[in-house]
Amino acid sequence: MATIFLGGLNQGMLWGVMAIGVYITYRLLDFADLTCEGSFALGGAVAATLIQNSEWHGMAACFIALLAGAGAGLVTALLHTKLKIAPILSGIITLTALYSVTLITMNNKASIGLLNVPLFYSVFGGMASRYSILIMGLICITAVIAACYWFFGTEIGSAIRATGANEKMCRAQGINTDNTKIIGLVISNALIALSGALVAQEQGTASWTTGQGAIVAGLAAVIIGETIIPSNSNFAVTLGAVVVGSIIYRIIYALVYYVGLPTEYIKLSTAVLVVIALCLPAIKAKGAAGVKSLDNFLIKKYPKYAEYAKRRDEKKAAKKEAERQKLLGTINSLTEQLKTCTDEKTVRRMHAKLVRTKEKYVEKYGSKALEEAEETQNVFSVAPIGGEGK
């Protein structure tokens, strides 16, 4: 049983890199990208071919796989932004093409074995593979989370997040949303291909069908992670939650094999797992509603509990109002700074932050509340700088 959990932990971290890629398009960009399955298989194929045929080290092969995935994401992005093809269709077109590209990369072989070759975890040669994979998996996933946390806090990263939250508002603020979509899709598919390269080396083989079901696993990891960790958490914590969701999904998947379920039922059990994962937010909401009903009953039934509930609610209301005033203060401050700022780079950075702050305010308190606050506190929108094409 310990081996099952360790295996699920190892695979969960490596697949977690893919889950973060899915999170970027699914949550940050609000883009239904189906390129995922093709990018994942392509990453494994590129890495396996370089390792087996060209005697590359596993880590170097992972870097080339990452670039290949970035190229796949770029194709999808260009189909959508330049040719105006719908997001789902753009992903399907690229995915279909990637089946052929992956086979060509593998010299028309169905699979490539990786035995007695230097893999990404070979740096710990004297250690059992499952433990060396665990250490390297931790290093890889930590590096990916740190890089994403840094990048999505920059001006460009903030613009990408703002694009997914409200594309029209971003355009009004002078952000080129086509460029932000391109960058987001490139990063997403690069991470997905990197995950494919890591998983192929962990499994010891790469197949052109490896990516089948990857989008399902990625979405399940995102949903499970978001259910465990509150959505208003720090961005790094949210990314970590996605990885935790991936680990939980992989452990459950490994347990399905462990109980000896017939092979023909594996896909069915996977579908059931995903349905359960997707239902978790609704279950959580119903649970919260039940707690609220119980709270109301206790308030009516017991006067002392009613007094306690009143003090509790007053503290919550005060905290909520303080958070609201803090957001309004940030909006006011950014608006005033934008009126006098002349540096274009700084202006664009502050524009992106202003858009993101307003979106956060609208998400918590509603668009009408923001309009009322703007009228009351004299918070005015700043005219866009440079226009859409800049």
**pLDDT value of residue 260:** 74
Phi and psi at residue 112, in whole multiples of 5°?
Answer: -130, 125
Domain membership flag for residue 50: yes
pLDDT of the residue at 284: 78
| Domain span at 181 | 2-280
Phi first, then psi: give them for residue 302, nearest 5 degrees: -125, 115
For residue 253, which of 268, 242, 231, 235 has the smallest C-alpha distance?
Answer: 268
Tokens describing residue 256: 């399905």
171 found inside a domain: yes
> Does 126 share its domain with 213?
yes
Specify the 3-state DSSP secondary structure of 342: coil
CA distances to 86, 168, 183, 215, 240 from 78, rounded to whole Å, are 11, 20, 11, 21, 30
* 3-class SS of residue 206: strand
Residue 230: inside a domain? yes
If 0-12 CB within 10 Å is exposed, 13-18 middle and 19+ buried, where does residue 303 land?
Answer: exposed
pLDDT for position 254: 81
Give me the pLDDT at residue 255, please.
Answer: 82
d(CA 261, CA 258): 8
- b/e string for 268-301 if b means 16 or more Cβ within 10 A? ebbeebbeebeebeeeeeeeeeeeeeeeeeebee
Residues 314, 274, single domain; the answer is no
> What was the pLDDT predicted at 381?
44
From residue 224, alpha-carbon distances to 31, 193, 323 in Å are 19, 22, 27
Contacts of 79 (CB under 8 A, 6+ apart): 85, 89, 90, 93, 94
Query: Are residue 266 and residue 162 in the same domain, yes or no?
Result: yes
Question: For the chain, what is the domain count?
Answer: 2
- For the chain, the straight-line distance linking the first and the last C-alpha, in angstroms and rounded, comes to 57
pLDDT confidence of residue 90: 95
* 231 plus 321 within the same structural domain: no
Q: Do 246 and 328 share a domain, yes or no?
A: no
Mean pLDDT by 10 residues, the chain (390 residues): 80 94 93 93 94 89 95 96 94 94 92 87 77 91 94 89 86 88 96 95 88 86 82 81 91 80 75 78 84 90 90 90 86 84 82 79 76 64 38
Within-domain flag for 214: yes
Q: How far is CA 56 from CA 198, 205, 267, in A?
A: 14, 15, 34
Q: 280, 295, 325 — which closes off a domain?
A: 280
